[in-house]
Amino acid sequence: MSRDIDPRLLRAFVAVADELHFTRAAARLYVAQQALSRDIRRLERETGATLFLRTTRHVALTRDGERLLPYARRVLEAYGELGAALGPFGSSGPFADRPLAVDAAAPVSTGQRVLDLARTRAPGVEFVARYHSGLTAAAADLAAGRLDVSFGRFAGLDASVRAGLGHRLVRYERVAVLLPEEHALAGAAEVPLAALAGETLYAGAGNDGTAEWTDYARALFAGRGIGLAPPFPKIDGEAEFARVVRKRGWSVLASEVFIGVPGMVLRPLVAPVPLSPVSMVWRRGLRHPGLDALEGRASHPPSSPSSRAAPSSASSPGW
């Protein structure tokens, strides 16, 4: 076996091993499928092993492929850490000119604001926006290389997941409640937490992709007599969210930056003022000029009622 395997070949191998599909793996790496197949064949020659069983309908790892996979992951992780350690050279590299995949969570969000500013700062960078609410789901895509950057409550992720990610606090968002217009509390400018005692609020239970938000809600509601709506299948899209919420008559735990829902009003919570930290999160070792632009904007977030410093009167359970 060659002792000098090109990391590009290992990156191709890991992508195919993760996807078990050459077309999806090629799209993930932004390369042509023919080039990806060529790299896999070259890696098989250099290792002297068949790494995949391939048919027209099926791709599977061989025993040799399964043996190689954990070593390949560790090599790529070390290679990424080396790149990150190069400091000012970190904005260059073989993937510096590829599009940067950014999950802004929603078209109305802190992530979208940071992304808009980064696009202005770095017009030569192609940022590709995605909108999949929930940092828990995004973190899995970050680790697998299907996504580059996301936004959300970093502390809500499992410690083993956090270990492979970099993060930067963007701001603290005030937490709010989305109420039907006919709700008794809808006419108030602000809603004290104590006024929600006896209420049941939807906070994404049943959607594994937003587990960090459901955990936050559970901690916030504890001891206050506020119920968490039972698990419900994942709701995709703003229109479907609005339809389901209105049909079921739910009140919703939200943030101050939230979509408008016809027939509902958004009211900030007070006494105390609950805050939710929003961080920019990326795969550790990522090198890309777009990441530099996003970090620069995240360090100077857009002005809003919230800030980067939590006021002494605020509460943020399970930061």
pLDDT of residue 133: 75
> Which residues lie below 8 Å from residue 89, measured CB to CB, with a gap of 6+?
83
pLDDT along the chain (319 residues), means of 10: 81 90 82 90 95 91 95 81 51 64 90 94 92 89 89 91 90 96 97 97 94 95 96 90 92 92 95 95 88 83 52 54
pLDDT of residue 32: 85
pLDDT of residue 287: 82
Q: Which of 201, 202, 206 is nearest to 233 (CA)?
A: 206
pLDDT of residue 93: 52
Rounded to whole angstroms, how far apart are CA atoms 193 and 221?
Answer: 9
Given a contact cutoff of 8 angstroms between Cβ atoms, the answer to whether 292 and 181 are in contact is no
Given a contact cutoff of 8 angstroms between Cβ atoms, the answer to whether 250 and 204 are in contact is no
Given a contact cutoff of 8 angstroms between Cβ atoms, the answer to whether 145 and 28 are in contact is yes
Residue ranges of domains in the chain, CATH in brackets = 7-85 (1.10.10.10), 91-172+276-315 (3.40.190.10), 174-274 (3.40.190.10)
- The residue type found at 274 is P
Rounded to whole angstroms, how far apart are CA atoms 185 and 191?
Answer: 7
Q: Which of 228, 176, 242, 175 is nearest to 199 (CA)?
A: 228
Q: Which long-range contacts (CB under 8 A, 24 or more apart) does 70-76 make?
A: 72/10, 72/13, 72/14, 72/17, 73/14, 75/7, 75/10, 76/7, 76/10, 76/11, 76/14
pLDDT of residue 75: 86
pTM of the model: 0.68
pLDDT of residue 90: 42
pLDDT of residue 96: 54
Q: Which of 149, 127, 124 is nearest to 138 (CA)?
A: 149
Q: What is the DSSP string of 208-230?
A: GGGHHHHHHHHHHHTTTTPEEPP
pLDDT of residue 317: 61
pLDDT of residue 300: 65
